[in-house]
Amino acid sequence: MSDKPRVLLIAASTGSRLRNRAFGMKLPLLGYPATNLALVAAVTPESFDISIVDECFEPVPYGQGDIALITGLTHHMPNVYRIADRLRAEGTRVVLCGMHVTALPEEALDHADAVIAGEVEAVWPEVLDDYLHGSLHPRYEGRPADLGSLPLPRRDLVNRKFYHPGEVIETTRGCPVGCGFCNVQNFYGARFRTRPPEQIEAELMEVFGPRPPQARWKEWIARHWHADIPYFIEKRLLYVMDSNLMSEPAHARKVCEVFRRVDLRWYGHVSFNVARNDEMLDLLAESGCMSVNIGFESLNQATINAVGKHTNRVTEYAECVRKLHERGIGVMGTFIVGFDEDGPEVFDRIADFALENQLETAFTLILTPLPGTRVYERMEAEGRITSRDWQDYDHGSVAFTPRNMTPSQLHWGMRSCWKRIYSLRGIRRRILRRPFVRPFFFLPINLGFRKCLRLIVSDSIWQPPAG
């Protein structure tokens, strides 16, 4: 038994087994390790004994930590607070962090010995030093990390059996756009920060190593089935967790060159305006990009303008999807419903768009007034927020009064989109019809979401609002 102080780094879940499953946390290729905590572990001094706990997959080891750092999104916070209260009752010192804590630090302090507002890595060693000297402060201000000086994440502390067969990497932080419904800019800042490409390449080579020589049977599979399949067999798959890999095109080009040299397959988040640069699209394809997640958000340009997503042009959406499909890159589109301009017709419009343009996946989420965002501030001022239960801030619940529909219409309308898009007919129309963009990759994902559908539409898991 180690005599070092024991640190628990905990990623909290929703606290509901069924909601965890409904969100697809345990689906192949969609469950990702808590890389942010693996990075916090990397800056933790060696004088501490560290454990990373992902509560979605494993129970919190109560009674086994001296100090715990807990993180979670807004809809995780009721469960975060339950975990924190129990740990503190047992004598464990508790520090809370994350986007919600940054927005509402005083609330979080009711359940913690200390809170960290903002990024954790730069201030975490200071917090631990104060803990050792019995002088833990109630509040710490995190600082934007210098991404080039951060150590590699402690992947050795992550239980790989819980997650998809690939790896996760972060190459940038920050967002210059600042959409009204999003809290990424409030947390990471408006300045776009990048990791040096050579550091990214070194990390990927440490994780994956050189690509092995191709056996004849792999060459046969690549030639007769699909060139990607050997990469799946070799587990050379990468998810890029950046909010927008393409915010700085010059850096994005260098990163894509790194991906091409390392020789892997990857997918991640990009902005809509990537489709305006044919050279960049070609480079994406050459670098091994299988799919991109694009925040289309709305099919109404007035809404796009109102939320400040100045990169998006609704009239160019279909052309964007076509250009990506021509290069064999799938499109995972995200839409939000419940904006002030949205009426009950919005749901069929989104489903029609997803089906007609063959989006490989389409996520329709309910607008959520997350603390710290402009949407929250406006709805609070207008008296439209109807729920103060943070569990309802999960993009599947209605926590406010919509302007042009009833709360019940918004609740069931969002679910009608999912039902149409992930029906067997919808899957067939989007995935099993030309241009056939990587169906071996997207068909299992879609069938997984179809299994989630019965949970998403269940009124026992998400109780419909009145009215």
Structure confidence at residue 310 as a pLDDT band (50, 70, 90): confident
Q: What percent of the chain has pLDDT over 90?
A: 83
**pLDDT attached to residue 29:** 54
Mean pLDDT of 227-241: 93
Lowest mean pLDDT segment, chosen from 6-10, 161-165, 265-269, 386-390: 161-165
What are the tens digits of pLDDT across the range 332-343?
A: 999 999 999 999
Is the model's pLDDT at 97 over the cut of 90? yes
**pLDDT attached to residue 27:** 59
* Full strand arrangement of the beta sheet holding 93-97: 49-54, 6-11, 67-71, 93-97, 114-117, 139-141
Q: What domains does the chain contain, in order, with CATH numbers?
A: 6-141 (3.40.50.2300), 165-456 (3.80.30.20)
Inter-residue contact 211 to 405 (CB < 8 Å): no
At residue 227, what are phi and psi to the nearest 5 degrees?
-65, -20
**pLDDT attached to residue 317:** 97
Supply the pTM of this predicted model. 0.95
CA-based nearest residue to 145, from 187, 97, 96: 187
CA-based nearest residue to 339, from 305, 381, 295: 305
Is the model's pLDDT at 28 over the cut of 60? no
Is the model's pLDDT at 25 over the cut of 80? no
Cα–Cα distance measured from residue 369 to residue 367, given in angstroms and rounded to the nearest whole number: 7
